[in-house]
Amino acid sequence: MQNKILLIYTGGTIGMVQDPETESLVPLNFNELTKQVPELKGFDCELESYEFETPIDSSNVNPLFWVDLVRVIEKYYDLYDGFVILHGTDTMAHTASALSFMVQNIDKPLILTGSQLPIGTIRTDGKDNLITSIEIAMGKKDGNSIINEVCVCFENKLYRGNRISKVNAEYFNAFSSENYPTLADIGINIHYKYDFLHKKNKDQKTIFNTKLDTNIAVLTVFPGMSEQYVNAIINIPQLKAVIIETYGAGNAPTDTWFLDILEKAVQKDLLIVNVTQCKAGAVNQGKYETSVGMKKLGVVSANDMTLEAALTKLMFLIGNNIKNNELKRAFLNPISGELSL
């Protein structure tokens, strides 16, 4: 039986072509996709497409978009063997992370891809990314899908979706996954790293969950930050959690006013999470004196989670009405391979 793969076009650079009259970039009509990528006709699968009514630039992505995307996946989940989601690169890491929490325990691939150059340009990276993503979505071993998780396929690498960050706006290798190995390296052949792939729990059903809460803020630590700046963020009305982007292994200033603000926030049951600004490595509160104070106050370490994963995980957990100490425990418990224990 032939594989059935659904291409979901949400927007982004990959789906753009140049209008011959205006020379501006306009969204591609996906009925014309095989004209731009005739290689797709060579796949031994049923390839169908779904287009969002209004394609969006990924800079405009928000949680309502994630809800719409999950509903599309849920609607067609049983009808297809795999999904390839075409998405802009700017917030691809956020969407991949959000999907990994909103769609759990899957038995087929959800692969996001895109490009740095429009698919209608001569030197586009979009064709290779798209063709490889489809091939991976078709991949099976012993009759079962090789990939059973949310991934990003880009520039000859397959990544776990909630482990990446965008690191390059100039070259084709736009993403990195510094704290988790690639799931596959792509050359003449696709070399899967089976030991690092997610395994579906056969005793549990696939879960689709669209509850999210956006009452979260990100506070970036920088030299010279003021008391007024920190207070303004910590005291946002209805706020339920704050992510502090710290230096190195989770370090921040030891000024009394800074720790006092955090202490008052914690006493009001505001969850504060410590995420490192570094792309590689993990938060290790207490390793240096500059993080001891936060650890004593009850600031929660994000370990080696990316900012994108920590942010979307908090949206998911708080959206599902998990509170206080239970929220701390849930945040530190892996859902879909987003952190190392």
Domain boundary among 187, 208, 229: 208
* Contact indicator for 94, 152 with CB cutoff of 8 Å: no
* Contact indicator for 205, 105 with CB cutoff of 8 Å: yes
Task: Judge if 173 and 232 occupy the same domain.
Answer: no
Task: Judge if 236 and 182 occupy the same domain.
Answer: no
- B/e letters for 49-82, b = 16+ CB within 10 Å, e = fewer, are ebbbeebbebeebebebbbebbebbbeebeebbb
Task: Judge if 191 and 257 occupy the same domain.
Answer: no
Task: Judge if 233 and 199 occupy the same domain.
Answer: no
CATH of the domain at 129: 3.40.50.1170
* Contact indicator for 289, 297 with CB cutoff of 8 Å: no
Task: Judge if 193 and 133 occupy the same domain.
Answer: yes
pLDDT in tens, the chain (341 residues): 678 999 999 988 887 776 777 877 666 666 666 677 888 878 888 999 898 888 888 889 999 999 999 999 999 999 999 999 999 999 999 999 999 999 999 999 999 999 988 887 888 888 899 999 999 999 999 999 999 999 999 999 999 999 999 999 999 999 999 999 999 999 999 999 999 999 888 888 999 999 999 999 999 999 999 999 999 999 999 999 999 999 999 999 999 999 999 999 999 999 999 999 999 999 998 888 888 989 999 999 999 999 999 999 999 999 999 988 899 999 999 999 999 97
Amino acid at 26: V
List Cβ neighbours of 256 (8 Å cut-off, separation of 6 or more). none
CA–CA gap between residue 27 and residue 20 (Å, rounded): 13
Total domains in the chain come to 2
pTM above 0.85, yes or no: yes
Task: Judge if 115 and 243 occupy the same domain.
Answer: no
What are the tens digits of pLDDT across the range 157-182?
999 999 999 999 999 999 999 999 99
Q: Any idea which residues carry the catalytic annotation?
A: 13
